[in-house]
Amino acid sequence: MRRLGVACMTAAMVLTTVSFPGVAKAEEGTSTQADGVTSSELEKGKVLVQVDQNVLKANAMCNSEMNPAISWDSASGYTKNIDGQAEYVFDGDERVGTNSEKIDGGMWHSRYTDVNGGKFAGTTTAYSATVRGNEETISDTNRPWIGSGFGRRIMLKKVIYMGRYSATNYSNNIADYELYYANMDNQNEEPTASDWHLVKSGTFAKISGASDIELDTAVEATHFKLVGKTAYDGAGNKVGGTQYVCAREIKVYELKDIDINLTAPTNANSENASATTSEVNTEADTKDVSGSPATMSGAEVKSVNELDLSNPVTVTSTVGDKLDITGENGEDDSVLIQFQIKLKELPSNNHDSVIVAKGDQYKIAYRQATESNQTIYRIKFWITGPASLGNARWKEVGCNFTDKTYLNKWITVTAMYDGTSDTKLWIDGVSKSDGWNSNTAYRNNTGAAIVHEDANVMIGDSTGINGYIKDLKIYSHLGRTVTGNQNNYATLVSSLANDATEVFNLSATPAKKAAYTVSTKWNIGSNVDPETNASKKTYTETVTVTPAENASIVTAPEAVTVNIDGNTVNNKVVPVSEDSTLENGTATVKYVFEDMLRGGSLRMIKADGTVDYTKTSMRFGYDFQLPTDTDFASCEWYYGTTASDLKLSLAPGAATKKIENPTEKKQGYIRSNIVFTNIAKTNFDRDIYARVLVNYIKDGKTYSKMGAYVDQNSVKSISEKIRTNGSDTEKTYVENLTASN
């Protein structure tokens, strides 16, 4: 069979002017042709879809914000008309109102210092400014900006900006703007200054409604930011250099391909399948991707590998307790925990808000404490030994957050217990203890220093913590290249892959809302071949593409993907069969599968005028008509030695040879053939399979239709038909060809 494959696949397409007197015939040799030039990429159609506001909210970032939020509205108990942090601009509430109306919630506003009379939002406590670690000093050259990350790569096409909610007050609305994008290799990494690329600049109109920024060409991006170069004052005058800008709501839109997948019929008895698309609704998914994966429950996924810490997640070992680090044989074990975290607020009470913990065996927590009449906020890491150690059973180290420099931005936290005496904590690769720890009076000479605890690992806490965690990993059994490099963080981290056991690796995928849906309708028609009187079927598949909420179809598809043989590896992207329509927001796409096979024949092979009966060539002949007002472009064939693997193709392109009006009864038809040459006698009973594609042109655009079935023939089957229907000359050729040596 492999020999047949090699012989068959040295195929050339042959055009002849010889008629078909029977179902099949033997014929003399004619000219052949080779593959042509590959056609250009086809447009699959585009849909413009809004990026999930929840993802943008979780990844919101800015360089200036009123955080905590402030309200000036005493009538609502300071719960309305709020100037606040970056998240407000992605909360999904447009809140369009008049100057006299109040709005629930708030909007993003850059930092201002004149807060006399304002209250912390939702309270009656006088406001006092609290500059956060993510904030920068605003100046003429460093302008306020707001942005977010998508948690994945998108084709950024459009941004909608909405200023102040009032229809008559434009105060601090952005006037002149610049839009930037970043395309990070690590989609979870926040861009630095050198990662941003200016993609468009302009001026927003003086309106409270939506203002669009639409790119001429979509750009691949993982993040965006909108910079307020100037702003409007309350009267609508443009003000340069002001530090005050605001945004009520920002929406981002991506451009997606419309992905339509059709399944071609394979035979007259096959059931016609509905069109499918990869654009489907999916549920959020969380899992451990380390060895012997643990199970997870309770997670709220905000973005890729990112969880909401205020929704506790339970992690349960499925094989033993792989997350337990109790030492074996009297030896201490070790643990290293690493993650990124964005903390939105300081903790509000004396409570160890869990970030990651396995009971008290090892724990990283966030808490408020009072020491020497001073309120302290810190992330701390500790492990717990047996009760016999008394007050020495805890080993802990912490990093104070009193200066708020770590709030509202992603930081990398690495915590390690080396298995003997030291607990270590790094923030963004810098070792932290802030002048306190309890790494004393704690040695391994008392036996196993880590207490065994039958407890699940918890991620997050429902009390006292507001923020997000991502890229969480836990390692145990740390080797010497890890524990021995506590003063060389980069080497320590790079050694984890080869000198530690990964016992937990967070993988989280957010839910996805499909940008559109597809539905299918089949129409089956039939006609009679005017020459053979054989019944021929035509299958027309009509696909309707309906956009989802917050999506719109920009261009109707000019191409579809067709499964030609039941094997998705061989899928082909081909032009549609007629113009797709775009009406009332939906697109309609049609594709035609038509039985065009005329029949099969054999072709003599001669050497020096003598017929060679050790081999022959086999032809598949196709007759077809074109739609009205179209011109023939080319034929293609997909072929192979099994019906489910048409992995090879012949595409002559514009050089395709054809015969117009091939017979008296077939005026208006076109005939084109594929010939498989030099088939050896040992392969005469082996089947060859092929499917034809016909391309045609109208008004400069290319369309196509495909053969209704996977066509099948062998030298043996054609020979048997010639014995029944062929001429005497043809019968003699077949007898000599198939005779035993």
Q: Per-residue pLDDT tens for 338-391?
A: 999 998 887 776 778 899 999 888 999 988 877 777 777 888 898 887 776 666
Q: Which two tokens mark 92?
A: 């999904």
Domain contains 43: no
For the chain, residues with pLDDT lower than 50 are 1-34, 36-39, 97-101, 329-330, 435-448
Asked if residues 38 and 649 have their Cβ atoms less than 8 Å apart, the reply is no
Asked if residues 250 and 158 have their Cβ atoms less than 8 Å apart, the reply is no
Task: Give the chain's end-to-end CA distance (angstroms, integer).
Answer: 20
Q: 670 forms bridges with which residues in the sheet?
A: 624, 660
Same domain, 222 and 313: no
Q: Which two tokens mark 464?
A: 């006292």
Instruction: Among 476, 509, 542, identify where a domain stops.
Output: 509
Name which of 355, 320, 325 is nearest 506 in CA terms.
355
Name which of 321, 281, 587 is nearest 450 in CA terms.
321
What pLDDT, on a 0 to 100 scale, did the predictor assign at position 10?
Answer: 35
Give the CATH number of the domain where residue 173 resides. Answer: 2.60.120.260
- Torsion angle of alpha carbons 550, 554, 557, 560, nearest 10°? -40
Same domain, 574 and 650: no
Domain contains 428: yes
Same domain, 242 and 274: no
Which structural domain, as residue segments, surrounds residue 194? 49-255
The predicted-structure confidence for 111-146, as pLDDT tens digits, reads as follows: 998 999 999 998 999 998 877 777 898 998 899 999
- Cα separation, 228 vs 146, in Å, equals 9
What pLDDT, on a 0 to 100 scale, did the predictor assign at position 127?
Answer: 94
Asked if residues 632 and 609 have their Cβ atoms less than 8 Å apart, the reply is no
Give the CATH number of the domain where residue 477 resides. Answer: 2.60.120.200
Domain contains 637: yes
Half-sphere exposure of 613 (CA within 13 A, CB side): 11
Phi, psi of 611 (to 5 degrees): -70, 130
Same domain, 303 and 434: yes
What pLDDT, on a 0 to 100 scale, did the predictor assign at position 391?
Answer: 66
- Cα separation, 410 vs 404, in Å, equals 13
Same domain, 526 and 400: no
Domain contains 41: no
- Torsion angle of alpha carbons 162, 168, 169, 174, nearest 10°? 30
What pLDDT, on a 0 to 100 scale, did the predictor assign at position 24?
Answer: 37
Domain contains 655: yes
Q: Which two tokens mark 50?
A: 């809004």
Sorted by sequence, the CB contacts under 8 Å of residue 539 that are 6+ apart come out as 265, 272, 522, 523, 524, 592, 593, 594, 708
Assign 3-state DSSP to the chain and report helix, strand, coil percentages, each to 5: 10, 45, 45
Q: At what angle do helices 715-725 and 728-738 cross, to 10 degrees?
A: 140
What pLDDT, on a 0 to 100 scale, did the predictor assign at position 27?
Answer: 40
Pairing of strands 586-594, 701-707: parallel
Same domain, 684 and 733: yes
**Stretch (H or E) spanning 551:** strand 551-555
Domain contains 96: yes
Same domain, 639 and 607: yes
Q: Which two tokens mark 332?
A: 């201490």
Sorted by sequence, the CB contacts under 8 Å of residue 127 that are 6+ apart come out as 68, 70, 115, 118, 119, 120
Instruction: Among 491, 509, 527, identify where a domain stops.
Output: 509
| Residue whose structure tokens are 């050729």 | 733
Name which of 328, 326, 317 is nearest 290 in CA terms.
317
Q: What is the tally of structural domains in the chain?
A: 4
Phi, psi of 612 (to 5 degrees): -95, 110
Same domain, 358 and 415: yes
The one-letter code for the residue type at 366 is Y
Domain contains 42: no
Same domain, 588 and 695: no
Same domain, 61 and 85: yes
Q: What is the pTM of this model?
A: 0.79
Name which of 443, 437, 441 is nearest 420 in CA terms.
443
Domain contains 121: yes
Same domain, 100 and 203: yes
Instruction: Among 543, 559, 593, identify where a domain stops.
Output: 593
Q: Which stretches of 85-232 are assigned E, i.e. beta strand?
A: 106-109, 119-120, 145-162, 176-182, 197-203, 210-228, 230-232
Same domain, 184 and 228: yes
